[in-house]
């Protein structure tokens, strides 16, 4: 399909090319033979799910790390050696998702960072300010060049980064999710700038999670999946459904079959539990968090119910789960377990109230690597194990850990082997054992299968399903691994920190889930596969979700704008 | 691609498990052996030092000399236990030397008449010891609150604290030394049972009790968890803040007791005791030489005790060898560095870091 682009832009030679790029990290094949071409005066929109290889490709195109094989060319000339940062910056400029301006320096200093004009070996301040002013004026940016960047807004800092690229005379610009931190108005202005840039002949690679943006400003679109470019072509010839289908992949059908089969093993407790009072009530909770904010979100979970939560990286899914587990504070709202309020950010109290917790980052929060398997598994129940004056025997600990390690098939040299020596899968099982040891009434699990091999993954999910079915515990599963949601009774999708939609009827349609995480409710009539299982009425595609979507049935709706 | 959630995966795991276990069995035995070597890492060094000592002086291998070593290291030892606890939770307390000086000074000041630079309240020695413990607890509580609740840097907090404490120590007695202390107050640091100093017995008991506590008590285990991975301990529902503050308090109380032993040994409380004589250096050195990690979560009382013994024996040999006074500190420093290197070489990665 790349010929189509070539023909459309046959007048111009490529500004940047990546040919046959392979990249491997440890045992993970991040990129497998990617060919990507950027033409002057055109904007290429690159989309793909988390972990598809977008960031790796950006890093290789920016000269941050080398490709294992393949070549990067600028204007037909092979890229400079990796260490030659200056030469790379002359050819391609990248505006990363996270700001790369130095807050303590002025706008002019940041624009000329590392390439300040000099006179007699000293920085020529006058010329630097003058040239910065010129660039700003030329592109219609209105920022005082003497202001320290710490005083600038996110949008202005982004302009500084773009100005840096323009001042270097770069004809190739990479924008990595530039709208993630911007307000609506700023996004519009950014789009105007991108159009202005492409009109002047700059080649732009635009990476985004929001598909509607691609159609708004890009001439071409490309989809990356599992390290391969699976679709490239002019944006005008593609629909959103084409992109979503390409992002999900041809195995979607097989996936659906899997989900159906797994769904058959779902809890039977759920329908019966409908009559019971809610175990967990999240009542209009809002929180600011670097991992994604949560805005006025409500949710109820009944005993024995398994509720999945999913969304994009910064959609607030893990923040909300951490709040319920008592591992993160929140600013407003309430979290109630059995009608009793859980104090914000008090993990110890949440544990005693009956909340088991599988944290997102197991290396950081999951276990103490120097301590043994038994000790880590029973860390949540030392008060149960201790006898005389708080002393406990290692044998008691090992005995208490044994049923847990058996149920989760934890492979270790014995109860005393430090968990740091175990494989990732077994480490995660130890973290799960620790969460389940106290017989929780509510299990909060965040991406419990991330980075875990297939056998361990299935085992972990099966164990979570078994425990909830047998003990009547509820499960709140926050994950971006859509396969994992198969064990859930319903799935909540968060977009930009708010409840966007809810899927109540398993099996959950993979494409509909992905579309929802991108902020698009799929047209139920158009998507026959959806079986109409999204409980919300379909929103117009690309609509900005406003307020909290549907409130749980019992909660008042006074917060709805 | 996910398999259906059924027993198939369990079967897969079971099949692999037998092989893996066979491999790990051998590894476990090796791990056990390594940890034994680590705990006894300093034993060969101690034996070597005793040989050297007996060559240096015929007075070395005598009961009275060893009883002297025991008396000398008791105060250091009890303070090292306090510092080790704080290191285990991933903290660092420079103010233990300030407490080591100030606590006995306040207690002595309350017992001694005005004519001998005391306050004139003539407190009973038993109450004075209670005051001494209270001073330790207060300093520890202040440190703990500032570091844990106030999120201030522990290094700077305790550095400031040690200077404040040392200033108070000189201030309340205008730099004078307090003598003529009641014998009940001096008992712990000066008495002997036969040839064995009471202070040595006391220090040994402290090491054993704290060692058992760390190994078998749930709070002791929580100390390892907090020091090994604070956020994992918090995620497991451990009351992390309470434990950290508690450990700062316990450490300072132990340092105050160390100061009490030292006061008993020299029958006086001087303005130099603690900060001015720079006791914090041997305290840290003994703990680290003994394998207590400055990064937290690693180390035990067996190691800490052998670190203290080693420093005591080295000090004793230098004394017996009639090392010129002006050179003794330089040699002391070199010897500590050598001990650290030896501990690292013998004990491997985890020690002396």
pLDDT (tens digit per residue) in A203-220: 999 988 777 888 889 999
**CA–CA distance, A17 with A39 (Å, rounded to integer):** 9
Q: How far is A216 from chain B (nearest CA, A)?
A: 34
Comparing A186 with A46, the larger pLDDT belongs to A46
Report the pLDDT value the prediction gives residue B23, as an integer from 0 to 100: 47
| Alpha-carbon separation of residue B266 from B3, B107, B167, B229 (angstroms) | 74, 15, 21, 42
The minimal CB distance from A367 to the residues B2, B217, B232 is found for B232
Residues of chain A numbered 394-433 and touching chain B (CB < 8 Å): 394, 409, 411-414, 416-418, 421
Q: How far is B31 from chain A (nearest CA, A)?
A: 8
Q: Are strands A220-225 and A43-47 parallel, antiparallel or unpaired?
A: parallel
A457 interaction partners in chain B (CB closer than 8 Å): 2
| Alpha-carbon separation of residue B234 from A334, A392, B286 (angstroms) | 22, 20, 30
Q: Do the Cβ atoms of A258 and B2 come within 8 Å?
A: yes
Report the pLDDT value the prediction gives residue B54, as an integer from 0 to 100: 92
The minimal CB distance from A414 to the residues B6, B28, B298 is found for B28
Instruction: Using a CB–CB cutoff of 8 Å, tell me whether B31 touches chain A.
Output: yes
Structure tokens at A226: 């599992």
Instruction: Using a CB–CB cutoff of 8 Å, tell me whether B21 touches chain A.
Output: yes
Q: Which of A68-77, A255-264, A480-489 has the lowest mean pLDDT?
A: A255-264
Report the pLDDT value the prediction gives residue A26, as an integer from 0 to 100: 65
Instruction: Using a CB–CB cutoff of 8 Å, tell me whether A91 touches chain B.
Output: no
Q: Do the Cβ atoms of A364 and B231 come within 8 Å?
A: yes
Task: Provide the β-strand partners of residue A183.
Answer: none
Instruction: Using a CB–CB cutoff of 8 Å, tell me whether A124 touches chain B.
Output: no
Query: In terms of CA atoms, which chain A residue is nearest residue B214?
Result: A391
A376: which DSSP letter?
A: H
Report the pLDDT value the prediction gives residue A251, as an integer from 0 to 100: 55
A365 interaction partners in chain B (CB closer than 8 Å): 229, 231-232, 234-235
Report the pLDDT value the prediction gives residue B2, as an integer from 0 to 100: 40
pLDDT (tens digit per residue) in B30-52: 445 555 555 666 777 788 889 99
**CA–CA distance, A166 with A93 (Å, rounded to integer):** 9
Tell me what the pLDDT averaged over chain A comes to: 81
Q: Angle, to 10 degrees, between the axis of helix B96-111 and the axis of helix B280-289? A: 130
Query: In terms of CA atoms, which chain A residue is nearest residue B9?
Result: A455
Task: Provide the β-strand partners of residue A19.
Answer: A71
Instruction: Using a CB–CB cutoff of 8 Å, tell me whether A516 touches chain B.
Output: no
Report the pLDDT value the prediction gives residue A273, as an integer from 0 to 100: 45
Instruction: Inform me whether the pLDDT recorded for B215 exceeds 90.
Output: yes
Q: Do the Cβ atoms of A348 and B237 come within 8 Å?
A: yes
Instruction: Using a CB–CB cutoff of 8 Å, tell me whether B348 touches chain A.
Output: no
Q: How far is B33 from chain A (nearest CA, A)?
A: 13
Report the pLDDT value the prediction gives residue B1, as an integer from 0 to 100: 37
Q: Which of A154-168, A357-371, B244-258, B304-318 has the lowest mean pLDDT?
A: A154-168
**Percent of chain A's residues with pLDDT above 70:** 83
Nearest partner of A214 among A235, A185, A190, A244, judged by Cα: A235
**CA–CA distance, A442 with A472 (Å, rounded to integer):** 9
Contact A171, A74 (CB under 8 A): no
**CA–CA distance, B137 with A386 (Å, rounded to integer):** 27
Q: How far is A266 from chain B (nearest CA, A)?
A: 10
Report the pLDDT value the prediction gives residue B311, as an integer from 0 to 100: 87
Comparing A159 with A383, the larger pLDDT belongs to A383
The minimal CB distance from B10 to the residues A251, A382, A459 is found for A459
A360 interaction partners in chain B (CB closer than 8 Å): none
Helix (H) or strand (E) holding A297: strand A294-301
Which residue pairs, CB below 8 angstroms and at least 24 apart, start in A232-237? A232/A1, A232/A2, A232/A4, A232/A5, A232/A36, A233/A1, A233/A4, A233/A5, A234/A4, A234/A5, A234/A8, A235/A45, A237/A4
Query: In terms of CA atoms, which chain A residue is nearest residue B219?
Result: A390
pLDDT (tens digit per residue) in B236-293: 999 999 999 999 999 999 999 999 999 999 999 999 999 999 999 999 999 988 889 8
Q: Angle, to 10 degrees, between the axis of helix B154-171 and the axis of helix B125-144? A: 150
Phi, psi of A493 (to 5 degrees): -110, 125
The minimal CB distance from A365 to the residues B3, B216, B235 is found for B235
**DSSP secondary structure of B4-61:** PSSTHHHHHHHHHHHHHHHHHHHHHHHHHHHHHHHHTTTHHHHHHHHHHHHHH-TTTT
Q: Among A255, A357, A371, pick the best mutation site for testing chain B contact (most B Cβ within 10 A).
A: A371
Report the pLDDT value the prediction gives residue B188, as an integer from 0 to 100: 96
Nearest partner of A475 among A486, A464, A484, A485, judged by Cα: A464
Q: Do the Cβ atoms of A393 and B216 come within 8 Å?
A: yes
Contact B262, B100 (CB under 8 A): yes
A366 interaction partners in chain B (CB closer than 8 Å): 232, 235
Tell me what the pLDDT averaged over chain B comes to: 87
Q: Which of A41-50, A183-192, B180-189, B235-244 has the lowest mean pLDDT?
A: A183-192
Contact B77, B133 (CB under 8 A): no
Residues of chain A numbered 292-351 and touching chain B (CB < 8 Å): 325, 327, 347-348, 350-351
Quick one: average pLDDT of B174-183? 94
**DSSP secondary structure of A397-450:** HHHHHHHHHHHTT---S-TTSBGGGS-HHHHHHHHHHHHHTT--SEEEEESTTT
Using only C-alpha atoms, chain A has a radius of gyration, in whole angstroms, of: 26
Q: Do the Cβ atoms of B229 and A368 come within 8 Å?
A: yes
Interface confidence (ipTM) of the complex:
0.82
Instruction: Inform me whether the pLDDT recorded for A531 exceeds 50.
Output: no
Q: Among A328, A365, A366, A417, pick the best mutation site for testing chain B contact (most B Cβ within 10 A).
A: A365
First and final C-alpha spacing in chain A: 45
Quick one: average pLDDT of B80-107? 97
**DSSP secondary structure of A180-191:** TT--HHHHHHHH
B17 interaction partners in chain A (CB closer than 8 Å): 409, 411
Query: In terms of CA atoms, which chain B residue is nearest residue A388?
Result: B217
B298 interaction partners in chain A (CB closer than 8 Å): 370
Interface size between A and B, measured as CB pairs under 8 A: 147
A193: which DSSP letter?
A: H
Q: Do the Cβ atoms of B232 and A366 come within 8 Å?
A: yes
A265 interaction partners in chain B (CB closer than 8 Å): 4-6
B235 interaction partners in chain A (CB closer than 8 Å): 325, 327, 347, 357, 359, 365-366
**CA–CA distance, A98 with A181 (Å, rounded to integer):** 9
**CA–CA distance, A161 with A102 (Å, rounded to integer):** 11
Quick one: average pLDDT of B159-179? 95
Query: In terms of CA atoms, which chain A residue is nearest residue B238?
Result: A348
pLDDT (tens digit per residue) in A325-373: 999 999 999 999 999 999 999 999 999 999 999 998 888 899 999 999 9
Instruction: Using a CB–CB cutoff of 8 Å, tell me whether A385 touches chain B.
Output: yes
The minimal CB distance from A379 to the residues B6, B12, B236 is found for B236
Q: Do the Cβ atoms of B4 and A261 come within 8 Å?
A: yes
A136 band by pLDDT with thresholds 50, 70 and 90: confident
State the Cα torsion B221-B224-B229-B234 to the nearest 10°: 40
B293 interaction partners in chain A (CB closer than 8 Å): none
Q: How far is A200 from chain B (nearest CA, A)?
A: 46
Report the pLDDT value the prediction gives residue A171, as an integer from 0 to 100: 85
Instruction: Using a CB–CB cutoff of 8 Å, tell me whether B18 touches chain A.
Output: no
A442 interaction partners in chain B (CB closer than 8 Å): none
Report the pLDDT value the prediction gives residue A429, as an integer from 0 to 100: 93
């Amino acid at each position: 399909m790349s010929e189509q682009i070539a023909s459309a832009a046959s007048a111009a030679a490529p500004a940047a090319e990546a040919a046959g790029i392979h990249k491997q990290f440890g045992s993970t094949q991040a990129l497998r033979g990617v060919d990507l071409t950027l033409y002057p005066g055109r904007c290429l929109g690159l989309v793909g799910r988390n972990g598809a290889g977008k960031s790796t490709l950006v890093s290789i195109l920016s000269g941050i790390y080398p490709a294992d094989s393949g070549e990067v060319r600028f204007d037909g000339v092979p890229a400079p050696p990796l260490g030659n940062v200056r030469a790379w910056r002359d050819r391609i400029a990248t505006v990363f998702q996270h700001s790369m301006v130095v807050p303590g320096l002025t706008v002019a200093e940041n624009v000329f960072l590392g390439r300040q004009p000099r006179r007699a070996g000293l920085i020529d301040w006058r010329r630097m300010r003058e040239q910065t002013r010129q660039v700003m004026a030329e592109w219609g940016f209105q920022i005082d060049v003497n202001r320290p960047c710490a005083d600038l807004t996110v949008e202005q800092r982004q302009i500084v980064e773009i100005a840096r690229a323009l001042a270097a005379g770069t004809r190739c610009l990479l924008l990595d999710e530039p709208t993630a931190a911007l307000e609506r108005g700023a996004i519009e202005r950014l789009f105007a700038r991108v159009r202005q840039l492409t009109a002047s002949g700059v080649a732009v690679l635009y990476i985004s999670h929001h598909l509607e943006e691609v159609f708004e400003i890009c001439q071409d679109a490309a989809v990356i999946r599992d390290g391969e470019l699976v679709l490239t072509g002019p944006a005008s010839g593609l629909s959103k459904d084409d992109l979503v289908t390409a992002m999900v992949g041809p195995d979607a059908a097989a996936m659906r079959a899997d989900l159906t089969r797994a769904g058959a093993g779902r809890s039977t407790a759920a329908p019966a539990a409908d009559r019971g009072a809610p175990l967990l009530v999240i009542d209009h909770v809002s929180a600011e968090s670097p991992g994604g904010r949560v805005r006025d979100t409500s949710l109820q979970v009944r005993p024995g119910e398994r509720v999945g939560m999913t969304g994009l990286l910064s959609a607030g899914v893990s923040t909300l789960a951490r709040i319920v587990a008592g591992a993160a504070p929140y600013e407003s709202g309430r979290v109630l377990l059995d009608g009793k309020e859980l104090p914000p950010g008090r993990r110890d109290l949440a544990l005693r109230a009956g909340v088991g917790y599988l944290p997102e980052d197991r290396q950081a929060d999951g276990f103490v690597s120097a301590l043994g398997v038994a000790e880590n598994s029973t860390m949540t129940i030392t008060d149960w194990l201790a006898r005389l004056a708080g002393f406990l025997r290692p044998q008691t600990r090992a005995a208490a850990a044994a049923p847990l390690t058996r149920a989760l098939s934890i492979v270790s040299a014995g109860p005393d082997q430090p968990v740091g020596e175990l494989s990732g899968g077994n480490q995660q099982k130890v973290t799960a054992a620790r969460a389940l040891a106290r017989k929780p009434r509510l299990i909060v699990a965040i991406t419990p299968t991330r980075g875990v091999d297939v056998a361990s993954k299935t085992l972990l999910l099966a164990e979570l399903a078994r425990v909830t079915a047998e003990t009547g515990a509820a499960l709140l599963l926050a994950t971006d691994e859509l396969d994992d949601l198969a064990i859930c009774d319903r799935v909540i999708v968060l977009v930009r920190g708010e409840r966007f939609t809810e899927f109540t009827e398993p099996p959950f349609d993979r494409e509909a889930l992905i579309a929802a995480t991108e902020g698009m409710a799929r047209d139920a009539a158009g998507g026959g596969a959806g079986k109409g299982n999204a409980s919300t009425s379909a929103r117009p595609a690309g609509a900005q979700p406003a307020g909290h979507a549907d409130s749980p049935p019992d909660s008042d709706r006074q917060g709805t704008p | 691609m996910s398999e259906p959630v059924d027993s198939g995966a369990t079967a897969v795991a079971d099949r692999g498990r037998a092989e893996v276990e066979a491999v790990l069995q051998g590894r476990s035995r090796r791990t056990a052996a390594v940890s034994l070597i680590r705990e006894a890492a300093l034993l060969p060094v101690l034996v070597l030092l005793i040989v050297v000592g007996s060559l240096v002086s015929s007075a070395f291998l005598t009961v009275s000399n060893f009883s002297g070593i025991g008396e000398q290291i008791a105060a250091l030892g009890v303070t090292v236990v306090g510092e080790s606890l704080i290191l285990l939770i991933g903290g660092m307390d420079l103010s233990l030397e300030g407490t080591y000086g100030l606590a006995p000074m306040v207690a002595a000041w309350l017992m001694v008449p005005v004519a001998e630079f005391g306050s004139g309240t003539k407190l009973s020695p038993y109450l004075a010891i209670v005051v001494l413990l209270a001073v330790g607890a207060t300093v520890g509580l202040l440190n703990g609150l500032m570091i844990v609740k106030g999120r201030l840097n522990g290094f700077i907090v305790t550095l400031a604290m040690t200077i404040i404490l040392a200033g108070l120590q000189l201030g309340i007695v205008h730099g004078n030394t307090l003598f003529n202390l009641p014998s009940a107050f001096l008992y712990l640091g000066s008495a002997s049972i036969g040839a064995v100093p009471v202070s040595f017995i006391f220090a040994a008991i402290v090491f054993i009790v704290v060692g058992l506590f760390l190994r078998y008590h749930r709070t002791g285990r929580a100390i390892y968890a907090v020091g090994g991975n604070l956020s994992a301990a918090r995620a497991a529902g451990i009351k992390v803040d309470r434990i950290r503050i508690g450990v700062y308090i316990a450490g300072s109380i132990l340092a105050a007791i160390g100061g009490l032993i030292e006061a008993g040994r020299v029958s006086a409380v001087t303005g130099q005791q603690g900060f001015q004589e720079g006791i914090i250096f041997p305290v840290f050195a003994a703990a680290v030489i003994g394998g207590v990690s400055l990064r937290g979560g690693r180390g035990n009382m067996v190691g800490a005790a052998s670190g203290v013994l080693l420093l005591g024996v080295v000090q004793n040999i230098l004394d017996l060898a009639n090392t010129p006074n002006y050179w003794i500190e330089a040699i002391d420093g070199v010897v500590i560095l050598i001990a650290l290197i030896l501990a690292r070489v013998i004990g491997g990665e985890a020690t002396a870091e």
